[in-house]
């Protein structure tokens, strides 16, 4: 699952935290509509753009140039820790947003498919 989610992120530009939330809602047999999905995406778009994506770009740059970077391993570890904390914050944003929604019980929800297609 981890590889698949990272492929969605890296190849399709999808948000892993949103994917995880949608898979979770699917497992609970709760459906969201397109408007709700758009609202979830909007709730994290600025945070993603200004906090997470720049940090990931920094990590990628440093990895590509690690031979020239003194103490690369320690810097990488610190950046990974910061990224995990930011991911948790983004999860809080998503959970707060989804908790404000009226979700529809559904025997076969397709939340994740709706987002990934």
- Domain span at residue 32 reads 2-116
Cα–Cα distance, 21 to 101 (Å, whole number): 13
Taking 90 as the threshold, does the pLDDT of residue 31 lie above it? Answer: yes
Q: What sign results for the dihedral spanned by CA atoms 55, 61, 64, 70?
A: negative
pLDDT for res 11: 86
Find out whether 13 and 115 touch, Cβ atoms under 8 Å: no
Model pTM score:
0.89
**Backbone phi, psi, residue 71, to 5°:** 60, 40
Q: Count the domains in the chain.
A: 1
Task: State the Cα–Cα distance between residues 28 and 24, nearest whole angstrom.
Answer: 6
Per cent of the chain over pLDDT 90 is 88
| pLDDT tens digits for range 78-116 | 999 999 999 999 999 999 999 999 999 999 999 999 999
Helices (H), 1-117: 2-12, 16-27, 34-47, 53-64, 72-99, 111-116
Length of the chain: 117
Q: What region does 95 belong to: left with phi over 0, alpha with psi -120 to 50, or beta?
A: alpha
CA distance 111 to 21: 9
């Amino acid at each position: 699952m981890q590889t698949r989610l990272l492929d969605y992120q890296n190849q399709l530009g999808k948000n892993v935290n949103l994917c995880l939330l949608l898979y979770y809602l699917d497992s609970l047999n709760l459906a969201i509509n397109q408007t709700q999905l758009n609202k979830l995406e909007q709730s994290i778009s600025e945070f993603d753009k200004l906090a997470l994506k720049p940090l990931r770009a920094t990590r990628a740059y440093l990895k590509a140039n690690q031979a020239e970077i003194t103490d690369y391993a320690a810097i990488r570890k610190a950046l990974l820790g910061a990224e995990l904390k930011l991911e948790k914050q983004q999860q809080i944003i998503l959970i707060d947003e989804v908790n404000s929604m009226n979700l529809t019980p559904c025997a076969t929800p397709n939340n994740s498919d709706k987002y990934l297609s």
